[in-house]
Chain A
């Protein structure tokens, strides 16, 4: 009864007269006013490039089941969900199947396929639970990271053992045989720290719900030893055993990819070595079954120095050996040694000003030296308001595939034969981008805003020209074609993004952003979009009350048009209509005796609007292999232990 009376008083809204006046409530009230929900650390505002951060909470509450879906809401990011099992993510345009102009990193280490330089998102060997945040750096970044950072960098940063201090076991089940299991643990004892992440995911296709889209098992582990003198040494590794459908048809990418890595840091000195490897096969491919083996060895050394006159310098060098082989594309092992020297200097000439200059020289055995500079002037007139101007250039070296592909094939029918030969292209030059950007970030009480405008020009685009064709009539009617890749044409673009995050009140936060890009003189070949989405809008609401978290977000993407990919001589354009994806999730965190337990329900594309991001595989679009995406509901149960 006394308890009942106490709660009755509380709920009746009686005046909460205190027994004695206390300044302490005022103190806590003042300190509480500083806590506003945020999806972006303020430190990103001082960066020499536009940076957006997707936090682990964003990923969890969004209900995303794939990395590419977790990136949908970022301004300027273009996500193509080509199939259930494959997405391609690009920044500010230039997207396409097997996109190789966006550098994707896992804790600062490249995850690009060593043969084709694209990102196979399904085989990145970490679970979504292990991700601490994803930093999306928009704009060229070769000045720091070298090749492939043409339009930006996506760095997936995993949780440290200290952050984990315990672990999580979770299971997700959903429509179309979707099953995701994760077991993650990490801790630190004295100077030693470790973590281990085991996960598996399988799901069936949207369009053919009884057929498997992907099945992936992953493991990722780390051991770190803290040493005297602010030093640390760590060793880590990951592996993904995968079977991923690649063309919405019979062909699967099967095999294993992985990495081993060691890092040493002492004060401003950092050394890192890693080995990425892949052993995959596409033996079910209907025209040319093949296998790919690749190894990437990378050694990076860098030193941070404080210099006079308020300069802070980081400089270093990098060596990378790329080695790959395929039984069909480029018989025999191919190897390239790449060297690089780089620096970045931050100078603060006055209280509100920073000048960041960086540059990197990269040497490639076939293309020689490339120099990639980047300069930013940052003006922060007040603590929460930053204006920045940036100019940069970047490049993408030809891939091992593009340099060495040597593919012979053909199709024979009664009375006719068609043979083709794709020749090696050792004379290819790097694709290059010149880029200019103006940006503003500011906070007004509970509103955080960002606005950017940019222009870029991409030249030397690697493309496939119309083939040389010969015809013979003996013994049967035979068409022989041969061609090689070349650098051809350029693309220019103007664009910008506007975004705002608003903490409506303590429990409810919202965001909205709009991205615009207008491509000029877009090259019209192969699978490059003839016109990328010009308008994109993302918006969302998140409500947190007690143990409940509800999230709803929507993404609208304007129309595009693509070549059908069937004929590079006379391209046929296919329009992909604009689409809208509405996602929602509800999560409940139990308390008391069930502390640590969570349950969630998530819906992807809950309006069940059928959409596609590439032309579907059809008689009108013979060269493309996209899938129509539908709704998918799933439920998750998770238990977090430790603290």
Chain B
């Protein structure tokens, strides 16, 4: 940066101090869609890695980012759908319904909730060694790109994939009925339009009735009755976002979509048994969470 440009930038920042005191000299700010649940857990993990920073919790607090803000970390889709300074990089995590920010016009990075495609399939194969035919239940058009990676990885692992797009959760029974006898397991993508209590219950019951293990996109859904999950925890999403924020502040580039590779396996032994899945002791020992 030339000295003239530096002086001008400093001048602009100084002028801004009088306009927006809350945002002064903050290189990073965090915005949470809500003050609880996964958003709060991810934020706590973020702050542990990145250090303290100004944070705002919707809907009660109004986010304030100034012209010097280099990075805004949005926890959740609602936080990601706000307007931020165009030059700030928006890092988004826990927003499975968004493919790109709908308002922010500057650069962005997404921390995806899905594990890397190959990691997911390898872990599922470890959980279920006989897995050769996997049905993927998905809903959002934004998931298509991930499915491309999934297809490539499945080909490498000689695993057959049946991709089942379910545009309306009400269609789940019909779509499952067509899978009887054709697949060895089901994986539910973390698409918000599909992960409803009703759809979940239907898939779970199908799984138990037909001895087809059902893998969920989050550990919390394993507690709700899925056989297992290979997922990115909210805390890991927050930690990954912190790493990316550090890089961004120091001027390093990052890809637009990041799939965290630190996945965790959760197992529901009762549901697994009902779905005909025998979990090996080694796998049980490896799992981050085991529900009897």
B252 at the interface (CB under 8 A from A): no
In the bound complex, what is the Cα–Cα distance between A23 and B179 (angstroms)?
A: 29
A471 at the interface (CB under 8 A from B): no
* Contact present for A643 and B173 (CB under 8 Å): no
- B155 CB, min distance to chain A CBs, angstroms: 12
B238 at the interface (CB under 8 A from A): no
Beyond A18-B197, A507-B168, is A29–B192 a contact (Cβ under 8 Å)?
A: yes
* Contact present for A26 and B20 (CB under 8 Å): no
Beyond A24-B195, A32-B193, A383-B103, is A308–B9 a contact (Cβ under 8 Å)?
A: yes
Beyond A592-B164, A643-B151, is A35–B37 a contact (Cβ under 8 Å)?
A: no
* Contact present for B148 and A23 (CB under 8 Å): no
Beyond A11-B173, A506-B193, is A643–B167 a contact (Cβ under 8 Å)?
A: no
B53 at the interface (CB under 8 A from A): no
* Contact present for A643 and B144 (CB under 8 Å): yes
- A308 CB, min distance to chain B CBs, angstroms: 3
A230 proximity list for chain B (CB < 8 A): 253
In the bound complex, what is the Cα–Cα distance between A20 and B171 (angstroms)?
A: 24
A546 proximity list for chain B (CB < 8 A): 167-168, 170-171, 174
B164 proximity list for chain A (CB < 8 A): 591-592
Beta-carbon contacts of A1-22 to B below 8 Å, as 1s and 0s?
0110111011100001011101
* Contact present for B67 and A310 (CB under 8 Å): yes
Beta-carbon contacts of B226-242 to A below 8 Å, as 1s and 0s?
00000000000000000
In the bound complex, what is the Cα–Cα distance between A409 and B86 (angstroms)?
A: 61
Beta-carbon contacts of A576-604 to B below 8 Å, as 1s and 0s?
00000000000001011001000000000
- A157 CB, min distance to chain B CBs, angstroms: 16
B20 proximity list for chain A (CB < 8 A): 351
Spot the interface stretch: A41-49, A251-259, A457-465, A521-529.
A41-49
A642 proximity list for chain B (CB < 8 A): 148
A444 at the interface (CB under 8 A from B): no
Closest to A24 in B: B220
Closest to A3 in B: B209
* Contact present for A30 and B209 (CB under 8 Å): no
Beyond A165-B148, A642-B148, is A383–B198 a contact (Cβ under 8 Å)?
A: no
Beta-carbon contacts of A375-402 to B below 8 Å, as 1s and 0s?
0000010011000000000000000000
Closest to A27 in B: B38
Beyond A29-B192, A35-B140, is A308–B5 a contact (Cβ under 8 Å)?
A: yes
A351 proximity list for chain B (CB < 8 A): 19-20
* Contact present for A10 and B202 (CB under 8 Å): yes
Beta-carbon contacts of A601-643 to B below 8 Å, as 1s and 0s?
0000000000000000000000000000000000000000011
* Contact present for B167 and A545 (CB under 8 Å): yes
Chain B interface extent, by class: 35 or more
In the bound complex, what is the Cα–Cα distance between A595 and B151 (angstroms)?
A: 14
- B242 CB, min distance to chain A CBs, angstroms: 20
A335 at the interface (CB under 8 A from B): no
Beyond A308-B5, A383-B81, is A31–B224 a contact (Cβ under 8 Å)?
A: no
Contact of B76 among A31, A384, A545 (CB under 8 A): A31
Contact of B202 among A6, A165, A383 (CB under 8 A): A6
In the bound complex, what is the Cα–Cα distance between A3 and B181 (angstroms)?
A: 12
* Contact present for A25 and B173 (CB under 8 Å): no
A310 proximity list for chain B (CB < 8 A): 12, 67
A306 at the interface (CB under 8 A from B): yes
* Contact present for B223 and A20 (CB under 8 Å): yes
* Contact present for B165 and A42 (CB under 8 Å): no
B254 at the interface (CB under 8 A from A): no
In the bound complex, what is the Cα–Cα distance between A167 and B176 (angstroms)?
A: 27
Beyond A308-B8, A383-B82, is A24–B221 a contact (Cβ under 8 Å)?
A: yes
A414 at the interface (CB under 8 A from B): no
Task: List B residues 69-106 near A (Cβ within 8 Å).
Answer: 76-78, 81-83, 85-87, 94-98, 102-103, 105
A29 proximity list for chain B (CB < 8 A): 192, 196
B4 proximity list for chain A (CB < 8 A): 308
* Contact present for A42 and B103 (CB under 8 Å): yes
Closest to A41 in B: B102
B218 proximity list for chain A (CB < 8 A): 24, 27
A283 at the interface (CB under 8 A from B): no
In the bound complex, what is the Cα–Cα distance between A398 and B202 (angstroms)?
A: 68
Count of chain A to chain B residue pairs whose CB atoms are closer than 8 Å in the complex: 168
A28 at the interface (CB under 8 A from B): yes
* Contact present for B105 and A43 (CB under 8 Å): yes
Contact of B209 among A6, A308, A507 (CB under 8 A): A6
In the bound complex, what is the Cα–Cα distance between A460 and B148 (angstroms)?
A: 56
Task: List B residues 149-191 near A (Cβ within 8 Å).
Answer: 151, 162-165, 167-168, 170-180, 190
* Contact present for A6 and B205 (CB under 8 Å): yes
* Contact present for B11 and A308 (CB under 8 Å): yes
In the bound complex, what is the Cα–Cα distance between A10 and B204 (angstroms)?
A: 11
B215 at the interface (CB under 8 A from A): no
B225 at the interface (CB under 8 A from A): yes
In the bound complex, what is the Cα–Cα distance between A46 and B34 (angstroms)?
A: 27
A350 at the interface (CB under 8 A from B): yes
B206 at the interface (CB under 8 A from A): yes
Closest to B219 in A: A24
B9 proximity list for chain A (CB < 8 A): 308
In the bound complex, what is the Cα–Cα distance between A27 and B8 (angstroms)?
A: 44
B145 proximity list for chain A (CB < 8 A): 165, 643
B248 at the interface (CB under 8 A from A): no
A309 at the interface (CB under 8 A from B): yes
* Contact present for B167 and A544 (CB under 8 Å): yes
* Contact present for B198 and A10 (CB under 8 Å): yes
- B197 CB, min distance to chain A CBs, angstroms: 5
A20 proximity list for chain B (CB < 8 A): 223-225
Contact of B206 among A3, A22, A306, A380 (CB under 8 A): A3
- A462 CB, min distance to chain B CBs, angstroms: 39
- B9 CB, min distance to chain A CBs, angstroms: 6
Closest to B86 in A: A348
Task: List B residues 23-52 near A (Cβ within 8 Å).
Answer: 33-34, 37-38
* 18 additional A-B residue pairs with CB within 8 Å, beyond A16-B200, A307-B8, A309-B11: A6-B206, A7-B177, A18-B197, A20-B224, A22-B224, A23-B220, A24-B221, A28-B196, A34-B77, A35-B140, A43-B102, A43-B105, A165-B148, A306-B87, A309-B8, A348-B86, A351-B19, A591-B164
Residues of B within 8 A of A (CB): 4-5, 8-9, 11-12, 19-20, 33-34, 37-38, 67, 76-78, 81-83, 85-87, 94-98, 102-103, 105, 140, 144-145, 147-148, 151, 162-165, 167-168, 170-180, 190, 192-193, 195-198, 200-202, 205-206, 209-210, 218, 220-221, 223-225, 253, 271
Residues of A within 8 A of B (CB): 2-3, 5-7, 9-11, 16, 18-20, 22-32, 34-35, 41-43, 46, 165, 230, 306-310, 312, 348, 350-351, 380, 383-384, 506-507, 544-547, 589, 591-592, 595, 642-643
What 10 A-B pairs have minimum CB-CB distances, sorted nearest first?
A308-B8, A2-B209, A24-B220, A32-B192, A6-B205, A31-B192, A28-B195, A34-B77, A16-B201, A383-B83
A-B contact pairs, 6 of them (CB 8 A): A6-B202, A19-B271, A25-B197, A30-B78, A35-B140, A348-B85
